[in-house]
Amino acid sequence: MTNDTKLLVAFDFDHTVVDGNTDTWITKAAPGGDIPKALKDSYVTGHWTQYMGRVLQHLHSEGVDASALQQVLQGLPYTAGMEQLFQHLAQCAAHCIILSDSNTQFIEWILQDRGHSSLFSKVYTNPARVSDQGQLLLGPYHSHSCPTCPVNMCKRLILQQHMQQHVLRSQAPYCRVAYVGDGSNDLCPAQSLGPTDIVFVRAGFALDKLLQKPEVACSVQAEIVRWQTGHDILQRLQAL
């Protein structure tokens, strides 16, 4: 493919690239391997980033610094077949991006540890930084007016802006978009894609359950492909 007809592959991160949730995985670093129930119960729907700020503050107060979080994330495995999929995408020079409600630090630590940072041209996620005291500080990616997405991130808006910027740079749109995800916040970007695009939906997860409702499935124009491992995604992309 030439530069102006590239395939765009957009990945969610938690339960997609990695076989778990980075935000809940880090609680393994807490004393006793978990956080208090009262803290868990403080989560308000749609306000996950604010909740994670409280979790990170609690962990730091318990002596868990950023280096300990980085170490525990090394134990979070990739989803089966994902490394082979990455190898194929690198060989065919596809454009790959990440759209995730995790954060820059968690994703950077994992991708760098496994040698895959260079595969992704952009990582769209919540900004994070390590303070002078070793605490991980978290902020929202952006604000938006989408009524269905979490207050800190609308993946549809981010994806559309990325595609518009590509057209400005390359004077041509992507030949096809493949979106790989699992969660309910992946529905909004999936609904923005066209009939030549593909939505890879992880079987048994929240997005899959939503799309089993006829009124939701009919809102997605793209081809819907259910997947369990990266090998399933690879097989469909190789058939293009």
Would you name the residues annotated as active-site residues? 12, 14
Q: Contact 185/46 with Cβ under 8 angstroms?
A: no
Mapping DSSP to helix (H, G, I), strand (E, B) and coil, where does residue 199 land? Answer: strand
| Helices 230-238 and 82-91, packing angle to 10 deg | 30
Q: At CB < 8 A and 24+ separation, what contacts does 166-169 make?
A: 166/8, 166/95
Q: Return the sign of the alpha-carbon dihedral for residues 12, 18, 19, 24.
A: negative
Matching residue, tokens 């902020």: 139
Q: Are 141 and 125 in contact (CB under 8 A)?
A: yes
Q: Which two tokens stand for residue 176?
A: 């096809």
